[in-house]
A and B are shown apart, each in its own frame.
Chain A
Amino acid sequence: MEIEFIAGHNLYWIISLLLLVGLYGMLAKRNLVKKLVGMNIFQTSIILFYVAIASKRNATVPVIDAALGSVDPAHYINPLPHTLMLTAIVVSVATTGVGFALLISIFRRYRTLDEDALLKRMR
C-alpha cells in the first residue's frame, strides 16, 4: 500500500484505531464497567467519523452572515453530519444511562461487576 494513502488519511486511521479499541473493550474486557467505557469509545469514534467527513479546509460555519465572508456554499461546512451527530450523542448518552442503570441493578443482585465472578454467582 502506498505511503501517501496511509499518510493522507491520518484521521481515518485514528478513528479506525479508536473503533477497534472500543470494540475490544466491549467484547474482551471482563469488567462490565470497562465494557461500557469501550462502548463509549466505540460510539465516539463513529461520531468523530461523521464530524471528520463534514470538515473542510478554510471553510466556516454554515450561517449566512455577511460578516463571516462570502455566501458561496462551497465555503461552508456541510452542517448535516453535525446535526446527525447531535442525535447520535443523545442516543449514546441514553444508552450509557440505561447501561449504568443495569449495572447498578446487577451489582445490587450479585455484588460484583466482574463477568467471571458474575457467571459463577448466577449458577
Chain B
Amino acid sequence: MIEANLPLLVPLAFLIPALLIPLIGVRAPGAAYPLALAAVLASIPIAGFGLFRVIESGPVTYTLGGWEAPIGIELVLDPLASFLTLVVTVVSCLVLIHARHVASVEHPDKRVPYYSLVLLLLAGFCGILSTGDLFNLYVFLEISSLAGYGLVAIGDKRSPVSAYRYLILGSVGTGFYLLGIGFIYVMSGSLNMADLARILPHILDQPAVLAGLILMVTGIGLKMALFPLHFWLPDAYSSASSATSALLAPLGTKVGAYILIRVLFFVFDPAAVEQRAPIASAIAWLSAGGVLYGSLMALAQQELKRMLAYSSIAQIGYIGLGLGMANPLGFTGAVLHILNHALMKAALFLVAGNLRVQLGHSNIAAMDHRLSRQMPWSMAAFTVGALSMIGLPPTAGFFSKWYLVLGGIQGSYWVFVAVILMGGLLNAVYFFRVVERVYLPFRRGLPDNGAANGGAEVVESREARFSMLAPTLILAGALLALGLASSFLVNRVIHLMVPAGL
C-alpha cells in the first residue's frame, strides 16, 4: 500500500501542512514551526524508504486518479529522483532546525507565512523530482517558484526588489519552458516523459522539436542560474533572510539541474541530439565560463552571503560541465556534485546565518581574528566547508571534482579539465581570504597587536545556540564522511542513475 503510493507521499507530506499552517497560524502562530518540522521529519523516512525500495526493486510509478499514462499523469520514483528527494528532505530538515531561531530574530512577525512558504517550496521541489510528466513538472516548478519569490521577499529592506527581479526573470524562465513543451507536444502529441523517450527518436529531425528543446533548456537554465542566465541569483540570495538563503541556495538551483538532467538525458537522447544541435557542448562551454566568472566575482565580494551566492554560480558551472561532457564519469561527477554542493552550501549559509544572528552582519571586511575565538565551532564548520569547496581531499568536494576531471579526460576535454582545476584554485583564494581574516590578526597599517596580546586577550564567547550549531556541525561532519563514502555512493546509488544512452 505504502510502496505503491511512495511517489505521491513526500510532496503530499509537505503540501498538506503548507495549507494547514496559515489556517492554524491565524489563531496559534506558535504551532507553525512544530507543524513544519513534523512535516519535514515525517518526509525523511518516507524518502529514505523510497530510495531503499527503488534500489532494491526498481522504479515505483503512481498514476494519478487511476488514469494510465500516457493519457493520465504519472509520478515516477527512479534512482535519481528518489536520491535527490532524500537529499532535499534531509538538507531542509537541518536548515529548518537552524531556521527557528534565525526566523524569530530576523523576521519575528512573518514566521507563519515563512514556514508555510517553505513547505510549499519543498512540495514543489519534491513534486518536480517525482513527476513523470513534462507539464506537471511545469506546475510544480511554478509552485516552487511562487513560494520562492515569496520567501525571498521576507528579508532585509531590499528584499522585495530582489524578489521582484527574481519573479520577472523566473517567469521568463518558466515561460520559455512552457513554450518549449508546447513545441514538443505539437510534434509528438505526448507530455509523458517515458512516452516521449519512445517517440522522440523518430521525430528528432524536425526543427520544431529541437527548437522546443532549446527553449526548454533556456528556461531551465534561467531557473538553475546557468551562466549567463544567472543575474537574478546574487541579489535574491543575499537580500533574502538567512533562513531562506540557506534553503534556496543549496536546493533551488539543484532542482533546476535535476530538470536539466531529466530533459536532456532521460527524455531526449543526448548523443542523438548532439548530432543535430550541439546543446550539451553549449551547456558545457557556458558552464566553464560560469565557473570562472562566478569564482572571479566571488573574489570581489565584501559580503559573505553575496560571495557565497557568486560561488554558487561557479558551482552550478561544475554541475553543468559534468552534464555537458555527456559521458558516464562526467554524469557521475555532476550528480555527486549536486549532493556535495547542497551540503557544502547549506553548511556555509548556515554559518552565514549564525554570523548574522550573533553579530548582526556578515561583512567580510568587518570580521577579524576575534571571531575564531568568539564562534570557534561555527568557524571550524566554515573552514571544513571551505576546504570542501576548494576540493581538497578527503572532503566530499574533492571526489566530485575527481569524477569531473576523470570525465573530462575520458572525453579529452582538456579545456574543461583546466577550468575545473583552475576553479578550485580560485575557490582557494576567496575562501582563504575569509579564513585568514577570521583566524589571523592581520590588518594593513596596524601594528601586530593581536599576536602581542593574543594569548592574554579574553574574548567573550558569542557562539550560536545549540539548535543553530548542531545542524551546521552535522553538515560539516557529513562533508568529511561523504568524502570517504563517495565510492560507496557511486557504486550503490549513482551507478544506477546513469542513463542507458551514455
Contact = CB atoms under 8 A, between A and B. Distances in A.
Q: Do A and B touch, yes or no (CB under 8 Å, in the complex)? A: yes
Contacts of A87: 135, 139
Interface in A68-113: 81, 84, 87-88, 91, 94-95, 98-99, 101-103, 105-106, 109-110
Contacts of A84: 135
A34 B466 CA distance: 47
Contact of B168 (A35, A46, A81, A94): A35
Interface centre among B138, B167, B172, B175 (most CB of A within 10 A): B175
Interface string B125-161: 0000000000100110010001001100100011011
Interface residues of A, number: 32
B132 to A, nearest CB: 16
A21 interface: no
Interface stretch (B89-97, B179-187, B259-267): B179-187
Contacts of A88: 138, 178
A43 B139 CA distance: 14
B146 A105 contact: no
A62 to B, nearest CB: 13
A122 B161 contact: yes
B163 A102 contact: yes
B374 interface: no
A78 to B, nearest CB: 9
A78 B228 CA distance: 38
Contact of B167 (A23, A42, A99, A122): A99
Nearest to B174: A91
B171 interface: yes
Nearest to B170: A95
B182 A42 contact: no
A81 B184 CA distance: 12
A23 B157 CA distance: 28
A19 B150 CA distance: 26
A81 B185 contact: yes
B440 to A, nearest CB: 32
Contact of A49 (B139, B161, B182): B182
B52 interface: no
B139 A91 contact: yes
A50 B182 contact: yes
Contact of A99 (B142, B164, B172, B178): B164
B176 to A, nearest CB: 9
B164 A46 contact: no
A90 B15 CA distance: 18
A105 B171 contact: no
A118 B161 contact: yes
A6 interface: no
Contacts of A46: 175, 178-179, 182
Interface string A12-28: 00000001000100110
A123 B463 CA distance: 32
Interface centre among B146, B167, B171, B186 (most CB of A within 10 A): B171
A98 B157 contact: no
Contacts of A109: 157, 160
Contacts of B157: 109
9 contacts: A39-B168, A42-B175, A53-B186, A84-B135, A91-B146, A95-B142, A95-B171, A99-B167, A122-B161
Closest 8 CB pairs of A and B: A105-B160, A102-B164, A91-B142, A106-B160, A53-B186, A102-B160, A39-B171, A46-B179
Interface of B: 135, 138-139, 142, 146, 149-150, 153, 157-158, 160-161, 163-164, 167-168, 171-172, 174-175, 178-179, 182, 185-186
Given A23-B172, A39-B171, A43-B175, 8 more contacts: A26-B171, A46-B179, A91-B139, A95-B167, A101-B153, A102-B160, A106-B164, A122-B161
